[in-house]
Amino acid sequence: LDLSSILCGGSFSAVRLMNSHIFQLQMFRMGLTRRELKQFNTKRLWSVVLMENLPQLAIQGYLLWMLKESSVISISSIVFSSISMLVTILGLATDREIYFNEKTLIMSVRVTVEDSQGRCCSLKKTLEKDLAMLLE
């Protein structure tokens, strides 16, 4: 996970990748539940918005006020930091709303087939794999 954090540019992207089940490889099955992923992503609000963007905005605003001189770069930086904060907060609020309004369905299917000699064979593993590919 440490190496993937470095390669992905942060722990939030790394956890998402390591829990993605990509290519159905075991190394990408971290095993976090959706609730655990939501709790982890909520930490993004605190770490990115409150600990990075908000102090940056405060320092930039203070310097602009003290110097009483603004440039296109400093104003653009403030605008884009504000947009980043807004998008992060709205994204987390949307994810939370979707999570609490989401409905789930548990389904169970058993399929048996007679082979050429009249014996019943269970196709559970094949059916599970095919259904998993269809539902992803």
Mean pLDDT, range 7-14, rounded to an integer: 74
Mean pLDDT, range 95-111, rounded to an integer: 73
The pLDDT, as a whole number, for residue 115 is 64
* Sequence-distant (≥ 6) Cβ neighbours of residue 48 within 8 angstroms: 88
Q: In this predicted structure, which of 7-16, 49-58, 64-73, 74-83 has the lowest mean pLDDT? A: 7-16
Consecutive H or E run containing 70:
none
d(CA 130, CA 136): 10
d(CA 5, CA 27): 14
Phi, psi of 118 (to 5 degrees): 85, 10
Mean pLDDT, range 42-70, rounded to an integer: 83
Mean pLDDT, range 40-56, rounded to an integer: 79
The pLDDT, as a whole number, for residue 124 is 65
* Sequence-distant (≥ 6) Cβ neighbours of residue 14 within 8 angstroms: 1, 4, 5, 7, 8
Mean pLDDT, range 108-131, rounded to an integer: 66
d(CA 70, CA 80): 15
The pLDDT, as a whole number, for residue 122 is 61
